[in-house]
Structure 1
């Protein structure tokens, strides 16, 4: 095990010059320059330079596959106790380094510091969970009419590719990395470019915790520069993606048919506020579901479907809450949208919504505050993911109407309802097309041990979380045993 005497961000730099550091890839247990284009990293908080990344070229990806393939048999042969010990040490180090890693997250994508700290703490807990799950690969036994004893065993796939977005640059990668490594795979991990430093910090900390070299290699590059090298390599055994539907479609087209593919994608998630809802409680659920992390959560609420009997009252409460949110412009509740491009796209969606009224604080400085689009008529506002702090406000008269409207988009990630009418709640959860349904709870927040799988354009392949992740990263072998004649 190595011991770092510098900060984690210095440890992953090729040239740790203050204010102009150069970063690269993480292969073989250390940082190394890629052969691709130089990518500029800019702080979302103050537009200062975070340094540059010497990104990967196809030859770097090929090299990472070679190293990961060489390391995989020995890693798979390690005992569950060995893997668990590394994961437990990693959890300890992540907690110790949370004050270093959280500012990296905040600078790279604009997340509030409180959210960033919470994300690192949750990531540490994920490693503790999968430390125990390393003991859990299990099989089945069968009897046959022909006298054989038959049993199944779970074996690792080999070298897997893990591709993650920028909105949760710590917990989403950790959830994939921990599950893949706990089952004996080695991995190539490609973070979003505006999550690059966080990705490197994850890899360095795992190395410091005792993870053998090349079990986890980090590749940083624009997807277009390495797509063929990443998805056509014969050593590739599986791909796990969290991202967008177009990205998933492009990857699936590029993959050989035999390579397993799992994807958690976007959503246009509906929250129904029924006629019996306590309105103050409903506003609280709406706020938590819609505006946390500036709405940049796949499971966030994008549409409010409000019973017509309470629509006017609820709208007034939301108006008051939105107006009051202007007082938090310098606070730590919302953060900043991840890039000026994202902010421009969100503002364009607001302007083109054809809403009868727009509730929104005027913050300025390119920040987008919590926004309610009242009765929009533009299909895009109703059906497409905006991925910002924006929700629509639509009215319904029956639960059948609510279910039909909730099912209108092509997505099906999460849905929810606020009501104490059990029959209504039951009708909703049976009728809505979504992989996760919540009753009287925020749509955001998915425990790492609970399966998450989107329907429709919100997911592909297996889901992830707990046992489901362990299943995806293993393959089953059936063994037939019969005593040979003496």
Structure 2
């Protein structure tokens, strides 16, 4: 473990479910320290009076300190053998696995996803660390023949240097893991700014990596407001920035990075469609659409937020889906019988409620709205809860570039409804009916985003057609739109992604650059 660890901080590790809030600390240059900024309290969205963790935030001067610390150790870390770097990740993975139940409970209390999902996310973070821990045993470069006698051409890879990582609230340990693990194993040092709504799980991941033997300054954790991300990208010592979050913030950071010539990797918005065709297994489709739309309260960039159903089976499918939703229990996410918890904050829930109201005012019909916790538990519903909602929307006025003539069948009219067009990041599913497979595919393409899509069909020819017709980064056939494995590329098309993809071997395309070596004896 790095020098300078705060002893009171260590003592907090054994009390994840205690009434007392866990003290928050920053990690800068190997020392766990309190921030000099404003106070920060991480509250349980299911129980707003319960403070899960609290501390003080970082200030802009801490960004400079963290980047300087990362720069100071960058050369030595890059020269550390990749197998040794991977061993650190493997030890951190073991630490997460050992404490998965404890950390899963903290995640459920802090972010609002169910206990099962929270524990599963901690284990997924460990899986990601283990995958990259084995990178030293994979292909490290390429060898080319030379047109000149006695010469060989080698293509090797080098780390970028000091990399900034900015992560969102919705997967507070898995998304950071899939950025930080490749960054570190490829020899970069890291300055990480997580979402300030989920600081405890960020601290837990940093603890696992720090305790696994990272040299001081190799990983730096800055907990604080969004302005720290802007300060980070403007740092002269930064060599790259990887971001996951909202489209607006991502575009702003991409612009800042481009103005300084800093490589940028961005995973941004999604408005993911599930297409249910007439030949689909409707029971399977109903199950998978429910999982894709309403697990994690819809707070996934890959969540199903648009539903396109063949007209001839639409009523039957909707009946199957609503029957499943009737058994879908909303409540405290730490209760093992609960299927869906609250949104991350009351403000986030209020924004989703306002969007539902706007969609109704624009003509959407409420096809389903589940009960609030008050309806089943007999009390006032906490304001962070939004019940699962299905809105059927119709055609509207053409919107944007997608309205260009000749892009879709005449029957496929673009929809301008808020629920169809905007990423609401909540448990809201906008539904449209399609008269044909061609129209269904065109409706799926009626979005500026292209992260993920799901297709339900028994026809292999139809599935193959979808591969060509749907411009998305991830296509699921007969499974939910959400989900990603660490050994394959993850990322979106169109305005959902910017720069190289994440995860798998694709990650090294961002976190390293090539050196072509002409080698002659």
Band the TM-score falls in, shorter-chain normalisation: over 0.9
Asked if 1:65 is matched to 2:103, the reply is: no
TM-score normalised by L of structure 2: 0.87
The Cα shift of 1:313 comes to 1.0
Match of 2:110 in 1: 108
**SS of 1:213 mapped into structure 2:** coil
SS of match in other structure, 1:91: helix
Matched residue, 2:252: 250
118-127 or 83-92, which deviates more: 83-92
2:308 aligns with 305
Structure 1 residue 240 corresponds to structure 2 residue 239: no
Aligned-residue offset at 1:323? 2.7
Q: Note if contact 2:86-2:133 (Cα within 8 Å) is conserved in structure 1.
A: yes
* In 2: Cα distance, 1:328 partner to 1:341 partner: 18
Is 2:372 the counterpart of 1:372? no
Partner of 1:415: 453
Output the CA distance in 1 between the equivalents of 2:123 and 2:147. Answer: 52
Q: 1:355-406: per-residue Cα shift (whole Å, max 9, x none)?
A: 2233011214132122111235652211111111111121001121111111
Match of 1:155 in 2: 158
Report Cα offsets for 1:24-51 as digits up to 9, x if no partner. 3111333212222222322223121234
| Corresponding residue number in structure 2 for 1:357 | 366
- Give the structure 1 partner of residue 399 of structure 2: none
Contact 1:8–1:204 (CA under 8 A) maintained in structure 2:
no
Greater CA deviation, 306-315 or 144-153? 144-153
Deviations 1:125-150 (A, max 9, x none): 11111110134352222334344422
Is the aligned partner of 1:19 residue 2:20?
Answer: yes
TM-score, normalising length: structure 1: 0.93
Which deviates the most, 407-416 or 30-39? 30-39
Distance 1:327 1:406 in 2: 29
1:149 to 1:179, Cα distance in 2 relative to 1, 3 A = same
The equivalent of 1:480 in structure 2 is: 518
Q: Are residue 193 (structure 1) and residue 196 (structure 2) matched? A: yes
Tell me the number of residue pairs that the alignment of Structure 1 and Structure 2 aligns. 479
Q: What is the alpha-carbon distance in structure 2 between the residues aligned to residue 77 and residue 453 of structure 1?
A: 30
| 1:202 alignment partner in structure 2 | 205
- Give CA-to-partner distance per residue, 1:86-128, whole Å, 9 cap, x none: 2221111111122332222112211111111111111111111
CA distance in 2, matches of 1:199, 1:9: 17
For residues 214-255 of structure 1, the C-alpha deviation after alignment (integer angstroms, 9 at most, x for no partner) is 11000111122x345311212111111111110111101222
State yes or no: 1:435 paired with 2:473.
yes
Contact kept in structure 1, 2:42 and 2:198, CA below 8 Å: no
Corresponding position: 1:459 with 2:497: yes
Match of 1:348 among 354, 358, 361: 354
Q: Which residue pairs with 2:88 in the alignment? A: 86
Residue deviations 1:39-87 (CA, integer Å, cap 9, x gap)? 2322223121234332111111101111111111111111122122222
CA deviations 1:427-483 (Å, max 9, x no partner) are: 222101111111111111110111012011110000101101122111101112234
CA gap of 1:137–1:55, structure 2 versus 1, over 3 A, is: farther
* Alignment of structure 1 residues 136-151 onto 2, 5 Å: 136=138, 138-147=140-149, 148-151=151-154
1:228 & 1:321 partners in 2: Cα distance?
Answer: 44
1:129 to 112, 121, 131: 131
Q: Decide whether the 8 Å contact of 1:22 with 1:54 is kept in 2.
A: no
- Matched residues in 1 for 2:198 and 2:7: separation? 24
CA change 1:177–1:327 in 2 (3 A) is: closer
State whether residues 290 and 325 of structure 2, in contact with CA within 8 Å, keep that contact through their aligned partners in structure 1.
no
- RMSD across aligned C-alpha pairs, in angstroms? 2.3
1:346 and 1:454 mapped to 2: Cα distance? Answer: 24
CA distance in 1, matches of 2:136, 2:165: 19
User: Which residues in structure 2 correspond to 1:264-279 (within 5 Å)?
Assistant: 264-279=267-282
Cα distance in 1 for partners of 2:435, 2:287 equals 23
Q: Output the CA distance in 2 between the equivalents of 1:326 and 1:299.
A: 22
Q: Cα distance, 1:324 vs. partner?
A: 2.9
Q: Alpha-carbon deviations, 1:312-348, whole Å to 9, x = none? A: 1112222322233258787321111111111111111
* SS across alignment from 2:241: strand
Which one of the candidate residues 194, 209, 218 is aligned to 2:221? Answer: 218
Distance 1:212 1:137, change over 3 A: farther
